[in-house]
Amino acid sequence: MNAINSFQKAIRFPEAVRRKAAATLVRPVAYGSYPAESHVNHEWDNLIILDACRYDALKSLNPFASEIQKARSNASHTTDFLQRNLQGDRFDTVYVTASPQVASYEDRFFTVDHVWKDEWSENQRTVLPKSVTERALAAHKEFQNKRLVVHYMQPHYPFIGPTGSQLDTHATFTGGLRERRHLSIWELLSSGKVSVEEVRTAYEENLELVIEEVNRLVKRLDGKTVVTSDHGNLFGERVSPLPINIYGHPSNIPAKNLIEVPLVELPYESRRKVTTEVPSESTSETEEIESRLEDLGYLQ
């Protein structure tokens, strides 16, 4: 039955299959290697994660007074990032997340606020950065003696700026095979249906939109704040000796623009006094998680 399902998926979504095959081929021979230490193993009271943010993209935008440092992530995918970082019992930490991926790791933290559960935009198929900021501010007010992780979805696809809205019209099937489903932008890009220039512009617009919210958030946080990313993103770069271009952020590929991420340490006056307590319980429905991950381009 699994073989039949795989064959049916290959017929219905050939671009998705080609992308997966490309990642599989380059993975054993990809250039680069992961660092031995976690780039988020810093002293911080607030850790702000911009999902899939490349170092060069934030460096070019330069929205902070502090220097944007180049860090090396030990992951090229959010699941890998969560597996390898913030490990152990972090019962002094509250995690506010737009990413459904965190649901599988919520027992590590004192509590997790799954913003995607009730702030999901059905029209834009993601969580808007404003919603994350509001929930992060509420969590900071409620848990003043806890560290805070705030995981924004942007600049990760789907793109919510003006260019991204135009690209989204290319991504909807109306022929019934994938009714009410969307092609990933990386499938569109790898098949030549959209251009690298269009996608880069849409990505940069996403980054600008989320940075507006990050700046609003950090002005109201006490303690030491670090801004970084879980991993980067590829727009068709070659990452191995093979003549194969890779798009998006496949797992376990330590390519330059997948593991080079920004890290910004913002100035602060004093550190927060943090306490550790027994965590509260939190559960997430598997079906809902899969639906949201599909919208974000993780599942086919």
Pairing of strands 120-121, 245-248: unpaired
Name the 3-class secondary structure at 24.
helix
Q: For the segment 203-230, what is each residue's pLDDT rounded down to a tens digit?
A: 999 999 999 999 999 999 999 999 999 9
Gap between the terminal Cα atoms of the chain: 17
- CATH fold of the domain at 14-295: Alkaline Phosphatase, subunit A (3.40.720)
Residue 76 C-alpha from the chain's centroid: 10
> What 3-state class would DSSP assign to 50?
strand
Measured CA to CA, the distance from residue 174 to residue 151 in angstroms comes to 33
Amino acid at 114: H
Tell me the C-alpha distance between 46 and 274, whole Å: 11
**Alpha helices, H only, 46-128:** 55-61, 78-84, 115-118
Q: What is the pLDDT of residue 174?
A: 33
Here the tokens at position 164 are 């991204």
On the CB side of 171, CA atoms within 13 Å amount to 24
3-state helix, strand, coil in the chain (%, to 5): 40, 20, 40
With contact defined as beta carbons under 8 Å apart, do 226 and 44 qualify?
A: yes
pTM of the model: 0.88
3 state DSSP class of 143: coil
Residues 6+ positions from 290 with CB-CB distance below 8 Å: 299
- Residue-wise pLDDT tens for the chain (300 aa)? 454 444 445 555 677 888 899 999 999 999 999 999 999 998 999 999 999 999 999 999 989 999 999 999 999 999 999 999 999 999 999 999 999 999 999 999 999 999 999 999 998 889 999 999 999 999 999 999 999 999 999 999 999 999 998 886 554 433 333 333 567 899 889 988 899 999 999 999 999 999 999 999 999 999 999 999 999 999 999 999 999 999 999 999 999 999 999 999 999 999 999 999 877 665 556 656 666 666 666 654
Pairwise CA distance, residues 143 & 39, whole Å: 25
Alpha-carbon gap, residue 137 to 130, rounded angstroms: 11
Find all residues with CB under 8 Å of 14, minimum gap 6, and list them: none
**Domain assignments of the chain as residue spans, ordered by start:** 14-295
- With 0-12 CB in 10 A as exposed, 13-18 as middle and 19+ as buried, what is 135? buried
